[in-house]
Amino acid sequence: MLVLFETPAGYSLFKVSDEKKLKKTDAEDIHETFFKDSKTASKYMSLVSFQPFEDTADAVTAATSILEGKVSKSLKKFLKKKLKKAASSSLAVADKALGLSIKEGFGDATKVVSDDKTNELFRGLRCYMDELFDTDGGIKAEDLRAMQLGLSHSLSRYKLKFSADKVDTMVVQAVGLLDELDKEINTYAMRVKEWYGWHFPELQAILNENSHYAKLVLKCGMRPNFSKTDLSEILDDETIEATVKEAAEVSMGTEIAEIDIINIQALAEQVLSMSEYRAQLFEYLKNRMNAIAPNLTVLVGELVGARLIAHAGSLMNLAKQPASTVQILGAEKALFRALKTKSDTPKYGLIYHASLVGQAAPKNKGKISRVLAAKCALGIRVDALTDETAEQVDTTIGYEGRAKVEARLRQLEGGSIGASNGDLKSKKTAKYDPVAAKTSASGSTYNASSDMIMDDAAPATEEKEKKKKKKDKRKSKSGGDDDEDDAPKKKKRKTEEDGDEEKEKKSKKEKKKKKKSMS
């Protein structure tokens, strides 16, 4: 019996020396009898042939074909040579699917075996694989370990379609840390200003930037040192430097001890070190985003794109979302509250912080966020589903989408002729001003500045006609067929009816009087 044993280094064929003993022994006792130790294993199992792989790519293709239960070209060549020499012997295979495909390829002449006994044989071969290959002139144990590691890495990358450049978990962690750093820097900087403010309270009103404040505290220390030291390295503007020195001379702050200023300066150092690390982290995030999602970065920027990926969980999860979800991603609380209270749903979530949405007027932010979300959904799918590296990824979709959003933004800022911008024109003005508006039969208006047909509301005259038709329909439903011209006729009828009623009343009264007089 021949045993086909696949290794990371190549294909190998082992021969069972005592087949009669193998047939007699049960599957449970095979490991004890045939594989007690390395000596007994080498006694019963001998290496017949070994075919190494050409390179890692060949090993990956061979491994994937075996996993799928298919016979690769290299395995077919190897088995053809060896099975011709040993035509009568059977072939033991670990996988049943692979055994079936070998049977189909080589016909019924080759007997393929895959049962409990063969499984025990493979288990024993794995236990003493290093000794069996080393003794029979195969490959060394160290080389086999290195090949195992290389094949496992490349196979897992192939199976997961892994790219070293597209690790979105790094972006998720980086943007989370960046947000936390911003909070910490603000907290520490405010603490420095409050602490040092007892000694020099006027400095906080003069300087806005936290880094400049911390640098001045570190360089000068006590308030009297401000007038002596040169602050031009920290403060670029000479006027600000002069105001700081003047304020230091006439400051209302209290005197503090040397130990106090040492602790304040230690805290200022922390602020500066965290600010430097934040700048490094932001640069790292920019590089990662350009590698992972270049189209998304072009459309919304690095920070907003990274926050969208972090909120979705991964780039692939974000690519599965429709544009409507991308638009309100981050505003889930507001959305469910609006659905519960039956009020207006939110128009934007995290995408609100994108520069294109920020450029729009407040009334147009919802429209721009909808257009931007649609373009982002396309860009994300291209970024997530392309197998290309960072240098090869095509960013034309991102740039084209940004150009379209900018064009829509300009169009909304310019306004269109119609009810949407409150500048309705009548038919008379439309006749004499053809460049401004050309009203079509369908009611849509043509804007000459944007060269786009906008389905705005119809002119005021058409609206009046529509209202009249609605009123007529209501009247017909209620049963009133009379027109407005029949109003005087209705009045006459009413007066006549009223006169008849009065006559009847008078006649009744007269009859009663006659009865009384007769009695």
| C-alpha to C-alpha distance for 73 and 240, rounded to whole angstroms | 78
pLDDT of residue 119: 82
For 248-278, give the DSSP string: HHT--PPP--HHHHHHHHHHHHHHHHHHHHH
Average pLDDT over residues 387-405: 81
pLDDT of residue 466: 63
Per DSSP bridges, beta strands 10-16 and 2-6 are: antiparallel
Whether the pLDDT of residue 163 is over 60: the answer is: no
Domains contained in the chain, CATH given: 2-160 (3.30.420.220), 169-282 (1.10.287.4070), 293-413 (1.10.246.90)
Q: Is 6 left (phi over 0), alpha (psi -120 to 50) or beta?
A: beta
Average pLDDT over residues 45-49: 79
Whether the pLDDT of residue 267 is over 90: the answer is: yes
**Among 126-135, 199-208, 308-317, 390-399, which stretch is predicted with the lowest mean pLDDT?**
126-135
**Among 178-187, 278-287, 369-378, 448-457, which stretch is predicted with the lowest mean pLDDT?**
448-457
| C-alpha to C-alpha distance for 218 and 223, rounded to whole angstroms | 12
Give residue 497's pLDDT band: very low, low, confident or very high (50, 70, 90): low
Mean per-residue pLDDT over the chain, rounded: 78
Whether the pLDDT of residue 419 is over 60: the answer is: no
Provide the 8-state DSSP code for 346: P
Average pLDDT over residues 495-506: 67
User: Which of 494, 423, 500 shows the shortest CA–CA distance to 456?
Assistant: 423
Whether the pLDDT of residue 444 is over 70: the answer is: no
pLDDT of residue 469: 66
Give residue 472's pLDDT band: very low, low, confident or very high (50, 70, 90): low
Give residue 446's pLDDT band: very low, low, confident or very high (50, 70, 90): very low
Q: pLDDT higher for 394 or 318?
A: 318
Question: How far apart, in Å, are the Cα atoms of 224 and each of 192, 217, 229, 249, 255?
Answer: 19, 12, 10, 7, 11
Q: pLDDT higher for 213 or 15?
A: 213
52 within 8 A of 31, measured Cβ to Cβ: no
Give residue 415's pLDDT band: very low, low, confident or very high (50, 70, 90): low
pLDDT of residue 357: 93
Question: Helix 365-385 crosses helix 396-414 at what angle (to 10 degrees)?
Answer: 170
pLDDT of residue 445: 37
Q: pLDDT higher for 359 or 168?
A: 359
- Find the DSSP H helices in 161-257: 168-197, 202-206, 210-220, 225-228, 238-249
Whether the pLDDT of residue 436 is over 60: the answer is: no
Give residue 468's pLDDT band: very low, low, confident or very high (50, 70, 90): low
Residue listed under structure tokens 């060549």: 77
User: Which of 218, 213, 193 shows the shortest CA–CA distance to 269?
Assistant: 218
Q: pLDDT higher for 225 or 59?
A: 225
| C-alpha to C-alpha distance for 503 and 511, rounded to whole angstroms | 13
Q: pLDDT higher for 487 or 450?
A: 487
Q: pLDDT higher for 363 or 61?
A: 363
Neighbours of 106 (CB within 10 A): 16
Neighbours of 175 (CB within 10 A): 25
Average pLDDT over residues 308-324: 92
pLDDT of residue 71: 80
User: Which of 55, 63, 68 shows the shortest CA–CA distance to 100?
Assistant: 68
Which residues 6+ apart lie within 8 Å of 467 measured at CB?
A: none
**Among 92-101, 141-150, 389-398, 424-433, which stretch is predicted with the lowest mean pLDDT?**
424-433
Residue 453's SS3 state is strand
| C-alpha to C-alpha distance for 171 and 186, rounded to whole angstroms | 23
Question: How far apart, in Å, are the Cα atoms of 169 and each of 287, 309, 311, 362, 414?
Answer: 14, 9, 12, 35, 42
Torsion, CA 5, CA 8, CA 9, CA 12, rounded to 10: 0
Whether the pLDDT of residue 320 is over 80: the answer is: yes
pLDDT of residue 425: 34
pLDDT of residue 389: 58
pTM: 0.53
Give residue 434's pLDDT band: very low, low, confident or very high (50, 70, 90): very low
pLDDT of residue 298: 94
pLDDT of residue 152: 79
